[in-house]
Structures are given as C-alpha cells and as structure tokens.
C-alpha cells in the first residue's frame, strides 16, 4: 500500500540584501516602498502560500572598510512591515527574523505577541544569533558575545520568551462590566527567570495571543543549530534543496526530535530555493544562465572571492584564472556583516577545492563563482518544476520550500500563476486555506492545548 501524499508547504521570501536580487532588471521595483511588500504579499496569499518571510540586517555590510555597494543595500524594519502587512492580508503567515543578541526577551516577546494579536494568529519568529562586535557597534550592549555563547544566549532567550508568552493562560481577562472585574487575578502575567544570561522578573503586559505562542523558526546548519532547532523550533530553514543532501539533513534533524520527546511531524524542514521558469526546458536553462550572469558581475565575483581570501583581490581579472596568492588566515577583516563569511571556516580547503575545479573545467574567477555559488534550485517548465518539487517532498528531502524570486516584487507571480495550480492538480497543495492561523496552515499544534491540559491535570 502506498503512503498518502504529503502536503507541501510553500513560503515566499521577499528578496532583499544579497546578490540573488537582480535590481538592474527593468521590471525590478522598490525593495523599500510599502507598495512592493503589499504586491508581494498579495501574490503569495492569492497562491495560498503558508507564509511570507522577511530577513533582517542590523549593520550595512562592508568590504575592505567601505560600505558594500554592488547588491541591494538597505531594508525596512521587520516588525513594522509585518504589522502593516497584516492590514492588507487575511490568512498569510507573517514571519520575521529577529536577532536574539541585540534585543531583550521582554521587548521581543511583547512585539511578537502584539504581532500575533494584530494579525489574528499569523505571527512567526525566525530566531537568529549573532556575536560580532561589528554589528554590536549599533547597540547599547555593544559587540560581543564570545562566539561559543551565542547559542547558549539564544536558547535562554527563546526559553525566556516562552515563559513570557505562557505567563498568561488566556482566561485572565473577564472585563465584566457589571461586577467591575477586569482581571480575574492581580498577578496576571507574573514571571520570574533567573539564568546565566537573563535575570528578570515581574509581569508580562501582553495577554495571551491567538496562537498562544508565535510559531518558531530557526535557521542554521551547524551541529548546535540543528540541535537548537530540534529542541525548540516548529520549523527549520535549511540550505539543502537537492535530493540526496536534503534527505540526509531531513533524516538527521528529524532523528534528533526523539531526544526531546517530540514527534517527527512537530518540526518542518523548509529549504530556501530559487526558481526560473520557461516555456521550454531549453528556454528556462538559457534564462537561468542570463540571470546568473546578472547576479554575478565581474566585480561581484572578485568580492565573493575576497570572503575566502580575506585580502584585496581588486587587481585580479575576473575573467582570468584564480588568484595565485594564498588566503590570509588572520582575523577576518575584509568582508564584514556577511553571513557567507561564516560558511567558509576552512579557507585553505576551499581554495584548494576551487582551484582544482577551475583547472579541471577551465573556469575563470567569474565562471567559478557562477558555477559554485547559489544556484537556481528549480529551473524548467512549470510542469517539470512542479514535478520536481513534489518528488523532493514525497521523498522526504524536505516538507516544502521557501521560494526567493530574483525580481522584486513581481517575480513570485509566475510561480504563483503557473506552478501552484499544477501542485494543486496533483493534490499536494491546498486550494483554499483550511484555517485562519499560521499554525493551522503548518499543521503544528497549538501550545495552548498542551498548557490547558496541564492546568486541568494539575
């Protein structure tokens, strides 16, 4: 007997600060004006996507001591955009990345609880960590966490936020106009947390929100990141969008859930993916090549290599061979504020691998960056892309995808209009929202149920 078809989860990532955004395309609009976010969100909601996703940045990126100017620079505030989008959408989940290093639990918990109220249960938090003094220069607490402490702070931050969310059970507000009792008890929202990173107490001032707790997402591929997600998250954003890598990651993370007493379906695995569609397979491949050339200019390719070499490579010819100098293994100073820098933990090994590949394929610097950099995950006709997505999900390479179009804000429309109907025909994607909250869309149970049962039992 064949197992029932898995339902695919789809999300839309507003393209922002990275070189996947082709800002030079004449159809590319503003990445700041609210009208762009409205258009993007309404395309996603029209297509019945689970949620919209916004990334975050807290310091403009620099390269060689200068503000990086080749990609989109700048973005609006995550919370503010999501709250405003709640006014122009009805069902779409609203997910934002918020850093746990340069914030405090009381404030972030009240912002997410507020967003959940104001969106009637559609809020989600992608918890990320940071430690660097470079970003810290914009904040009161300054730079700085020892790198090994970033997950310990993040874990305690999230646990503390959960204590705050759970400090109201949902039945405290009577608002009985006759008797004059507004609250059932004076100590509503009381909490006390004494830990390594936070020593706080008092009363939380946002009553329990529609989802109980907002949905928690986590991104991160490291050992600590996987463990953090398995222990605490409702979904994990991964980078593994291919069949074999995806299946390995999927198995690894789902196996970890058991250790925390959680079922395998309590954590969704959602890789980020880009797409290029064409009327024919050949046309899609050709468009994808053009997009890659637009995303990776010669200057961008050289800058990309500098993440690994950690030295100025501007004198090299991007259409020539790889630099003959060795990477600078000292403190990383050339590229700052870049997530990618952290991916290259062993520059010598990366350089060796890249040189071998470039030599074997006769690649220039730009060719190498194009061939090894972020790739279009789905390139093809709507039919082949729908089939590929379905197959990956049914084969447990993921539970769905977070799609990042390369054009802002209209680039999602071709996927919404052409691929989604095919997934619906296959019976693997909703044709209408079944519920109203993001937890409903994701099929992740409501923590209220748990806490209510506990309260009844106790």
- Restricting to residues 438-457, name those near other proteins by CB under 8 A: none
Q: Which of 1, 87, 360, 457 binds other proteins (CB under 8 A)?
A: 87
**Cα(405)–Cα(29) distance, integer angstroms:** 13
Which of 303/441 has CB closer to other proteins?
A: 303
> Interaction with other proteins in 33-62: which residues (CB under 8 A)?
33-34, 38, 57-60
Q: Which of 27, 69, 290, 314 binds other proteins (CB under 8 A)?
A: 69
Q: Does 171 bind other proteins (CB under 8 A)?
A: no
Minimum distance of other proteins from residue 66's CB (angstroms): 6
Which of 88/159 has CB closer to other proteins?
A: 88
**Cα(147)–Cα(288) distance, integer angstroms:** 38
CA distances to 163, 385, 443 from 191, rounded to whole Å, are 7, 49, 29
* DSSP track, 290-306: HHHHHHS-HHHHHHHHH
> Interaction with other proteins in 176-195: which residues (CB under 8 A)?
177, 180-189
**Cα(126)–Cα(119) distance, integer angstroms:** 17
Task: Kindly indicate which of the ranges 167-175, 304-312, 426-434, 449-457 contains the residues binding other proteins, using the contact rule CB under 8 A.
Answer: 167-175
Minimum distance of other proteins from residue 391's CB (angstroms): 37
- Residue 449 backbone phi and psi in degrees, to 5: -55, -45
Minimum distance of other proteins from residue 403's CB (angstroms): 23
Asked if residue 123 lies in contact with residue 53, where contact means CB atoms within 8 angstroms, the answer is no
> Interaction with other proteins in 207-226: which residues (CB under 8 A)?
207
Which of 254/366 has CB closer to other proteins?
A: 366
Q: Does 14 bind other proteins (CB under 8 A)?
A: no
Contacts of 336 by beta carbon, 8 Å cutoff, 6+ apart: 59, 61, 62, 63, 132, 134
Asked if residue 424 lies in contact with residue 3, where contact means CB atoms within 8 angstroms, the answer is no
Which of 83/92 has CB closer to other proteins?
A: 83
Q: Which of 41, 55, 72, 407 binds other proteins (CB under 8 A)?
A: 72
Q: Which of 11, 83, 335, 438 binds other proteins (CB under 8 A)?
A: 83
Which of 71/417 has CB closer to other proteins?
A: 71
Q: Does 243 bind other proteins (CB under 8 A)?
A: no
**Cα(222)–Cα(131) distance, integer angstroms:** 15
Strand partners, 96: 54, 125
Q: Does 162 bind other proteins (CB under 8 A)?
A: no
Task: Kindly indicate which of the ranges 79-87, 223-231, 327-335, 357-365 contains the residues binding other proteins, using the contact rule CB under 8 A.
Answer: 79-87
If binding means CB under 8 A, how many residues of this protein chain bind other proteins? 74
Which of 188/230 has CB closer to other proteins?
A: 188
**Cα(79)–Cα(85) distance, integer angstroms:** 10
Minimum distance of other proteins from residue 319's CB (angstroms): 15
Q: Which of 159, 200, 257, 413 binds other proteins (CB under 8 A)?
A: 200
End-to-end CA distance of the chain: 43
**Cα(12)–Cα(302) distance, integer angstroms:** 30
SS3 248: helix
Which of 81/284 has CB closer to other proteins?
A: 81
Q: Which of 95, 101, 111, 377 binds other proteins (CB under 8 A)?
A: 111
Which of 50/116 has CB closer to other proteins?
A: 116
Which of 238/408 has CB closer to other proteins?
A: 408
How distant is the alpha carbon of residue 159 from its chain centre? 20
Buried b (16+ CB within 10 A) or exposed e, 232-261: bbbbbbbebbeeeebbebbeebbebbeeee
**Cα(332)–Cα(54) distance, integer angstroms:** 27
Q: Which of 5, 27, 90, 138 binds other proteins (CB under 8 A)?
A: 138
Q: Which of 139, 266, 347, 410 binds other proteins (CB under 8 A)?
A: 139
How distant is the alpha carbon of residue 386 from its chain centre? 22
Q: Which of 5, 77, 259, 353 binds other proteins (CB under 8 A)?
A: 77
User: Angle between the 347-361 and 365-372 helix axes, to the nearest 10 degrees?
Assistant: 110
> Interaction with other proteins in 277-336: which residues (CB under 8 A)?
297, 299-300
């Amino acid at each position: 007997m064949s197992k029932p078809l898995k339902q695919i989860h789809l999300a839309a990532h507003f393209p922002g600060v990275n070189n996947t955004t082709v800002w030079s395309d004449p159809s590319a609009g503003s990445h700041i004006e609210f009208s762009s976010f409205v258009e993007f969100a309404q395309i996603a909601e029209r297509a019945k996507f689970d949620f919209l996703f916004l990334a975050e940045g807290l310091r403009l990126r620099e390269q060689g001591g200068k503000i990086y100017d080749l990609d989109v620079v700048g973005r609006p505030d995550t919370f503010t955009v999501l709250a405003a989008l709640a006014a122009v959408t009805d069902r779409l989940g609203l997910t934002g990345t918020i850093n746990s290093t340069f914030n405090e639990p009381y404030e972030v918990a009240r912002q997410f609880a507020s967003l959940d109220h104001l969106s009637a249960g559609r809020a989600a938090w992608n918890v990320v960590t940071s430690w660097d003094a470079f970003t810290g220069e914009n904040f009161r607490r300054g730079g700085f966490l020892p790198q090994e402490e970033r997950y310990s702070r993040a874990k305690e931050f999230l646990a503390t936020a959960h204590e705050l969310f759970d400090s109201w059970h949902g039945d405290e507000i009577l608002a009985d106009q006759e008797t004059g009792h507004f609250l059932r008890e004076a100590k509503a929202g009381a909490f006390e947390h004494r830990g390594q990173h936070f020593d706080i107490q008092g009363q939380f001032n946002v009553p329990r929100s529609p989802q109980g707790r907002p949905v928690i997402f986590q991104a991160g591929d490291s050992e600590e990141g996987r463990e953090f997600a398995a222990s605490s998250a409702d979904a994990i954003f991964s980078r593994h969008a291919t069949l074999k890598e995806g299946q390995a990651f999927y198995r690894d993370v789902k196996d970890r859930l058991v250790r925390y007493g959680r079922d395998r379906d309590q954590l969704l695995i959602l890789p980020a993916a880009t797409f290029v569609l064409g009327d024919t397979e050949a046309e899609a491949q050709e468009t994808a090549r053009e997009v890659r050339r637009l995303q990776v200019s010669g200057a961008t390719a050289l800058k990309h290599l500098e993440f690994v070499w950690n030295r100025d490579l501007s004198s090299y010819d991007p259409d020539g061979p790889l630099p003959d100098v060795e990477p600078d293994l000292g403190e990383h100073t050339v590229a700052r504020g870049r997530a990618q820098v952290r991916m290259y933990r062993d520059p010598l090994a990366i350089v060796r691998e890249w040189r071998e590949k470039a030599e074997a394929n006769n690649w220039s610097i730009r060719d190498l960056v194009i061939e090894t950099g972020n790739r279009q995950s789905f390139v093809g006709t709507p039919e082949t892309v729908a089939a590929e997505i379905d197959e990956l999900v049914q084969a447990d390479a993921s539970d769905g995808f977070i799609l990042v179009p390369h054009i802002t804000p209209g680039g999602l429309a071709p996927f919404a209009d052409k691929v989604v109907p095919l997934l619906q025909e296959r019976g693997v994607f909703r044709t209408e929202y079944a519920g109203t909250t993001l937890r409903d869309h994701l099929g992740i149970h409501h923590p209220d149920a748990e806490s209510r049962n506990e309260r009844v039992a106790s």
